[in-house]
Structure 1
Amino acid sequence: MNESGVKSKLRSVETADIMKLLPHRYPFLLVDRIVDMDGDRSAMGIKNVAANEPYFQGHFPGNPVMPGVLLIEGMAQTAGALCMSTIDEFKVPPLVYFMAIDKARFRRPVIPGDTVHYHVQKMRNRGRVWRFRAQALVDGNLVAEAEVSAVIVET
């Protein structure tokens, strides 16, 4: 239920629609799908981590680990798509820029074969500036967390 006590309709966004909301493309689009979007309040992004991801070639050979900064980026992309999904219409799509990362913590490595669930929850927004609490989970276990801020900028 939302703040006024009305049950919210949850919705999902597939990769093609994520690419309409965000300018990111492979290999830097780090969210495959977004589910459980609740207005502008919360969402869950999903990333299936494949062994052929380009960063695994150098991070680390023989012991592939998804870079922590990419986990943060995946959380931020999920939050950015949530922000953009609230804009009704635009002639030229605005951009969402990362402003800050706070309280980032990494709990365990993410490896090929893992499915990462990025849980983002809006803390607040004022005008075009948004702040989210974000967590990355694998099999229900916390692997990373942070607070991220972003701003929507007209191009």
Structure 2
Amino acid sequence: MTTNTELTQINILEVMRMLPHRYPFLLIDRVLSVEPAKSLTAIKNVTINEEFFTGHFAEYPVMPGVLIVEAMAQAAGILIIKSFGERKSNELYFFAGIDKARFKRQVIPGDQLVFEITLVKMTRGVGKFVAVAKVDGQVAAEAELLIAKKELDFSI
């Protein structure tokens, strides 16, 4: 059986080439698979060394839900690039909407988040995605995301 899924993993160096985010805000460690214009699976290894754990919460470290959603959006950004080509140097993709966000399991140091991102549609530079984050096969978070392309004007 032949599929369009690219089984070649994308390592952190390639992720950094595609995304403008950097430490401590780069939240994707590796892409496991991509089916262009359809889906992507990526991971984030959660460690106690993450800066956000110093204050969320000191006695009981839990990854903030907003950062899980941000990681889903970063994975969606990689899917856009792998589906529709590299972004121009003056283009970025931004959140345009978050719907139906649900948090079902706490994410703690030592967990590996697996992101399953599905492209629902892409229209005039705006993509709609269904995103699921899992730990050990259990859903930790899920959301529908809207990601929009914006051309930046650096002449200001």
Give TM-score, length-normalised by structure 1.
0.91
Relative to 1, partners in 2 of residues 1:54 and 1:29: Cα closer, same or farther, differing over 3 Å?
same
1:144 equivalenced with 2:134 (yes/no): no
Q: Supply the distance in 2 between the matched residues of 1:91 and 1:82 (Cα, whole angstroms).
A: 16
CA offsets, 1:62-116, max 9 Å, x none? 1000000000001010001111223435652521111100000000100000000
| 1:17 paired residue number | 14
Matched residues, number: 151
**1:54 aligned residue (48, 51, 54):** 51
Relative to 1, partners in 2 of residues 1:26 and 1:88: Cα closer, same or farther, differing over 3 Å?
same
Q: Supply the distance in 2 between the matched residues of 1:134 and 1:109 (Cα, whole angstroms).
A: 17
Relative to 1, partners in 2 of residues 1:90 and 1:117: Cα closer, same or farther, differing over 3 Å?
closer
Give TM-score, length-normalised by structure 2.
0.90
Consecutive unaligned residues in structure 1, runs of 5 or more: none
Q: Supply the distance in 2 between the matched residues of 1:12 and 1:93 (Cα, whole angstroms).
A: 27
Q: Greater shift after overlay, 33-42 or 86-95? A: 86-95
**2:39 aligned residue (17, 20, 42):** 42
Report if aligned partners of 2:65, 2:103 keep a CA contact under 8 Å in 1: yes
Relative to 1, partners in 2 of residues 1:52 and 1:91: Cα closer, same or farther, differing over 3 Å?
closer
Structure 2: which amino acid aligns with 1:7? T
Relative to 1, partners in 2 of residues 1:82 and 1:89: Cα closer, same or farther, differing over 3 Å?
closer
Report if aligned partners of 2:102, 2:142 keep a CA contact under 8 Å in 1: yes
| 1:99 paired residue number | 96
SS at match of 2:10: strand
State how 1:120-135 maps to structure 2 within 5 Å: 120-135=117-132
RMSD: 1.6
Report if aligned partners of 1:21, 1:85 keep a CA contact under 8 Å in 2: no
Deviation at 1:43, TM superposition (A): 0.4
Q: Supply the distance in 1 between the matched residues of 2:87 and 2:49 (Cα, whole angstroms).
A: 36
Identity of aligned residues (%): 44
Consecutive unaligned residues in structure 2, runs of 5 or more: none
Structure 1: which amino acid aligns with 2:112? T
Q: Supply the distance in 2 between the matched residues of 1:89 and 1:70 (Cα, whole angstroms).
A: 24
